[in-house]
Amino acid sequence: MSPPSATSPVVENGDSSKPSNIAPHEPGLDKASAKAKMPAFPGPPKFDDPYKERAYLKGRLAAAFRIFGKYGFDEGVAGHITLRDPVDPSTFWVNPFGVAFSLIKSSDLILVSEEGEVIDGGPCRLLNTAAYAIHSAIHQARPDVNAAAHSHSIYGRSFCSLGKKLDTITQDSCAFHNDHVLYESFNGIVLAAEEGENIAKALGNNKAALLQNHGLLTCGKTIEETVFWFVSMEKCCHAQLLADAAAAGRGGQTIKIGEEEAVFTYKTVGTPLAGWFSAKPLFDVIHKETGGDYLE
């Protein structure tokens, strides 16, 4: 039931003919307590057994491929997502070459060593050389990175042809403010270890890279975070392509978010935990839509 002040006129200076324009608080809340606060995020599950953690994370990686398939981030056999193995952190799980993202199950994933040897996995054990070259270099250079994703998404690869970084023009793009790079070299399909090492070096400590004339690359502490950064960055590329075209058509430019505001917003939407939690709806929906068959 609403407090009386929400339904009854308030007498002001003895005049009860005018309704009050003062928004009432619920009983017991003072003005300071009524201010909106960002709730504390839950966090990823913790495991005391690395083999149980492996089983869980393989399921999440398979779900990640289903999400990429749903969003159209597949292009023939191109694209890959990797996950550092919790049992042997010098190895990583990746999709088998030539298997559709939308069909991948946990049992299909293959385990790859730092030397590019497939040491475990499903019935198809073909390894994408580009996946090995890029992801092996990143996992070795970044001990904090447990997952990395790259694909030839339509807006990402379109934006990457411009040879520029994202502008901070929306709240969502603040997640990448001072936290993404432009890799300005394109030397064809990444088949050499040296090119993978160059990409890893250019990435530095950032969460994402725009690979010029190629596509997007994201990474993170969790597979969920990594997937969300990719999905969000793809949408930021789309938004900027639209905004830049509209602004140019009117002879103007887009409005940029100020440095102070962008940094402040980044601390809320650009953290690893924010990325992990933001991905939760994506994984929940894919589980519902697939009936969880990716876990097989």
Region 171-180 average pLDDT = 98
**CA atoms of 80 and 180, how far apart (whole Å):** 19
Cβ-contact 120, 52 below 8 angstroms: no
The mean pLDDT value of the chain amounts to 89
Q: Where along the chain do its domains lie?
A: 50-295
For the chain, percent of residues with pLDDT exceeding 70: 85
Residue 42 is inside which H or E element, if any? Answer: none
154 pLDDT exceeds 70? yes
pLDDT of residue 70: 98
Q: In terms of CATH, what superfamily is 50-295?
A: Class II aldolase/adducin N-terminal domain (3.40.225.10)
Phi first, then psi: give them for residue 254, nearest 5 degrees: -70, 155
pLDDT of residue 23: 43
pLDDT of residue 35: 60
Beta carbons within 8 Å of 296's beta carbon, 6+ residues apart: 105, 106, 107
Reported as a pLDDT band with limits 50, 70 and 90, residue 41 is confident
pLDDT tens for residues 199-237? Answer: 999 999 999 999 999 999 999 999 999 999 999 999 999
Higher confidence at residue 124 or residue 13?
124
Reported as a pLDDT band with limits 50, 70 and 90, residue 157 is very high
Reported as a pLDDT band with limits 50, 70 and 90, residue 186 is confident
22 pLDDT exceeds 60? no
